[in-house]
Structure 1
Amino acid sequence: MAVLQGAGIGEIGAVVVRYYGGTKLGVGGLVRAYSSGLKQMLPRLVTKTKMLREKGSLVCRYDQLADVEHLLQRLDVLIEGREFSELIRLTLAVPLSVTGSINKELAPMSQGQLKIDFSQ
C-alpha cells in the first residue's frame, strides 16, 4: 500500500499474483516481494489525467455550428450528444476551468444569443 501511496497517482489499485503459496518468506518477505512487484510495474504504467467537468447544454443554429464546434474544441469541451431539429441542441461536458468564461467567448460570435445552460 505504501508503494501505491508514494507513487503520486490518484485512483489506483493493484493486484500482485504469486504462483507459489505458503509463507516461507515470512510476513516481511511477502511484503517485500509484493512491493518489489509493484515497484517494477509502476514505471511502465500508462496514466491518464482526469479532468473535472460540468454538464451543460447549448442550442444553436445550423449556420453557427462550425464556429461553436471550433470554440468548444479549443477549450477542450466534450460534445456528449447532438439533437438536430429546427435548431441544434448540444449536450456538453465543460472543464471546470472554463465554466466561468465560456459564455463570454460565445457572446461575440452570436451577438450575445448563445449561452451554455449549466442548470441540468
Structure 2
Amino acid sequence: MLVIRWYGGIQLGTGGLARAYGGGANKCLQQAERLPLIQRSSFQLECSFSELALVKLRLAEVNGLLESENFTATGVQMAIAIGPEHVDTLQRQLADLSRGRIVLHKATTE
C-alpha cells in the first residue's frame, strides 16, 4: 500500500503525519475488496503448437495461472501455477491429450 500526502503548507508534526497516513491506509483497507489467498505450486511444461489451445483450456478448468510462455522453433515452453489438489488431474489430462508427451516438471526456485 502506498499513501501519498501532497504538502499543503500545514505543519502536522510526527503525530499528525502518523494519523494522516494511518487514516488514509485505514480507509483503503476498509473499502478494498477481499479476495481469498489460493496456494499454488509452479510447474513447467513443453507442448507443440497444435496442443497449445487444449493445454490452456485444461489449465483454465483447474483455475491455473499461466505465468509465462516462450515460443520456440518446435513448440511452446510454459510456466504455470496450479493448486496442489489439481496436479494429478491436470497431469493425467495433459498426458491423455498428448499421448504422454506433455509432462509437468516442478519448477525450481533459485
Q: Which runs of 4+ in 1 moved over 2 A?
A: none
1:58 match: 45
**Unaligned 5+ runs, structure 2:** 1-18, 21-25
Report 1:66-81 matches (<5 A). 66-81=53-68
Q: Number of paired residues?
A: 83
Q: 2:89 aligns with which of 78, 97, 101?
A: 101
Aligned counterparts of 1:83 and 1:119: Cα–Cα separation in 2:
15
Aligned counterparts of 1:97 and 1:51: Cα–Cα separation in 2:
11
Q: CA deviation at 1:55?
A: 0.8
TM-score (structure 2 length as normaliser): 0.66
Aligned counterparts of 2:68 and 2:32: Cα–Cα separation in 1:
32
2:11 match: none
**Unaligned 5+ runs, structure 1:** 1-16, 19-37
CA RMSD of aligned residues (A): 2.0
TM-score (structure 1 length as normaliser): 0.61
Percent sequence identity over aligned pairs:
18
- Listed one character per residue, the Cα deviations across residues 67-90 of structure 1 (whole Å, up to 9, x for unaligned) are 111100111110010101122000
1:112 match: 100
Aligned counterparts of 2:88 and 2:54: Cα–Cα separation in 1:
20
Q: CA deviation at 1:47?
A: 0.7
The structure whose Rg is larger is 1
